[in-house]
Structure 1
Amino acid sequence: MKLLPVPGRDTVYVWTGRADDQRELTRRLLRRAGGAVLGRSEVEVGVRRAPGGAPEVYGPDGRTSAASVSHVDGLVVVAARTGGPVGVDVERCRPLPAVALAQRWYDPAEAGWLRSRPEAGRDRDFLRLWTAKEAVGKALGVGLRDGGLRRRMPRPGGPGELLRPLPGRADLRVGHPDAGADLVLAVAVADARGPVRVVFA
């Protein structure tokens, strides 16, 4: 299956699946992603680690596509993009000491924002910031090292298909596509040159 890019927009494609064997499912989804974005059959696509450790899919013609993987409780999420680096992170919604964790780990402005949010939604809001930070770290190839938890994110809005720029960094974008009521999903890109859309494949 070949995916056509959204005209005039950089596009990130996301695949999800559930299985007991997450390692095998991850390999299958990465091959599916590579086949789709590179316009090749899945059997022609290879998977390897790029410098820095992120997964990369490649075709027999040498073309490559950046990819990212996240998993939780049997769910695997793979994101791929031909326009540059990509990161993805998924978390299951659960009760958390959100304000205390935010005060310890997040930028003071983000911790203050979280304190001001309605108590009923704080756990989800905390996880929106957390997954955004993880996804951006993956897109940058550094994870949460070097102050990644203090890296400021745009204030989470509702789920959407467009990614928003980080404060002071128009080339870094992140957003929260809808993953269902019990999950929080974040997708991020580096080297963005304009609007970026997320499409579930």
Structure 2
Amino acid sequence: MDQLTVSGRDTVYVWVGRDTGGQPDPAAVLVRRAGSLLLGRAETAVVLTHDRKGRPVVRVDDVGLAVSVSRTAGLVVVAARRAGAVGVDVERIRPLPALALARRWFPPTELAWLGDRPEAGRTVDFLRLWTAKEAVGKALGRGLRDDGLRRLMPPPGLPLRPVPGVEHLRVGHPHLDGGLVLAVAAHANAPVDVEVVQWPGHGVTAERSTSVERTSLPVVVRGN
């Protein structure tokens, strides 16, 4: 995590680490390191604050960096971007009543899409939709409020794709091994790169992605 080649392109950087539940908070550690690497300053100079919509931002002097945090059992993920708002969400793949949950939370178009998907992969497809909704809500600074679960997502796929009805917002799914589904959203009117950066010792195989965007949708009812 101490070395990172920063691209000149609009890029979302994603760090994956273990969430030990101890102190210091692993999420805070990742956020400060992300700020240090992307803003080129010492970690001690990085200040965590929030913008007017409540989205987390790290600052060094007058320079800001948008960040987003997600946790699932034993894991923490931090996304950071210099060019604008970002959202991230991660879920572990586990048995779920995908269609029953979709009937309760998703719009009819997504329920129909999910029902047509192969049963063997339906849980993953549901989690893609759900994580996409979570990531989009974080990028918007709304979470899942205002019917966020009924906000229509683009079909899963790569690269990041525009979110229907939401101007200049894209969402997609960078690949993670280890039985995980990851979604990233970004405010952008042009393609955005996503790079997953492995944190040594996190125990999850992360794959660097140079594709310009990602798409997905997904699962779990929590706050922002």
Q: Partners of 1:175 and 1:82 in 2: how far apart? A: 18
Structure 1 ranges of 4+ moved more than 3 A: none
Distance 1:56 1:79 in 2: 11
Q: C-alpha root-mean-square deviation of aligned residues, in Å? A: 1.6
Alpha-carbon shift at residue 181 of structure 1 (Å): 4.3
CA 1:163 to 1:6, structure 2 compared with 1: closer, same or farther past 3 Å? Answer: farther
2:214 matched residue in structure 1: none
Provide the identity percentage: 58
User: Aligned partners of 2:19, 2:100: CA distance in 1, in Å?
Assistant: 34
Kept in 2, the 8 Å contact 1:3–1:37? The answer is no
Secondary structure class of the residue paired with 1:4? coil
**Structure with the bigger percentage of helix:** 1
Question: Contact 1:35–1:41 at 8 Å: present in 2 too?
Answer: yes
Is residue 52 of structure 2 the alignment partner of residue 56 of structure 1? no
Shift of 1:38: 1.2
2:183 alignment counterpart: 186
Aligned partner of 2:109 in structure 1 is 109
Question: Could you tell me which amino acid in structure 2 is paired with residue 27 of structure 1?
Answer: A
Kindly indicate whether the alpha-carbon contact (under 8 Å) linking 1:77 and 1:90 is maintained by their aligned counterparts in 2. Answer: yes
Q: Deviations over 1:50-80 (max 9, x none)?
A: 3333221111x31011100001112110001
Superposed counterparts of 1:70-81, under 5 Å:
70-81=70-81
CA distance in 2, matches of 1:89, 1:19: 15
Q: Which structure 2 residues correspond to residues 163-178 of structure 1 after superposition, within 5 A?
A: 163-169=160-166, 171-178=168-175
- After TM superposition, the structure 1 stretch with the greater mean CA deviation from structure 2, 134-143 or 35-44, is 35-44
- TM-score, with normalisation over the residues of structure 2? 0.81
More deviation, 45-54/28-37: 45-54
Unaligned runs of 5+ residues in structure 1 are none
Asked if 1:86 corresponds to 2:81, the answer is no
When the two structures are superposed, what TM-score results if normalisation uses the length of structure 1?
0.90
Which secondary structure does the structure 2 equivalent of 1:110 belong to?
helix
> How many pairs are equivalent?
194
Amino acid of the residue matched to residue 5 of structure 1?
S
Q: Indicate conservation of the 8 Å contact 1:3/1:36, yes or no.
A: no
Residue 4 of structure 1 and its aligned partner are, at CA, apart by 2.1
Instruction: Report the CA distance shift for 1:170/1:3 in structure 2 as closer, same or farther (over 3 A).
Output: farther
Structure 2 unaligned spans of 5+: 198-224
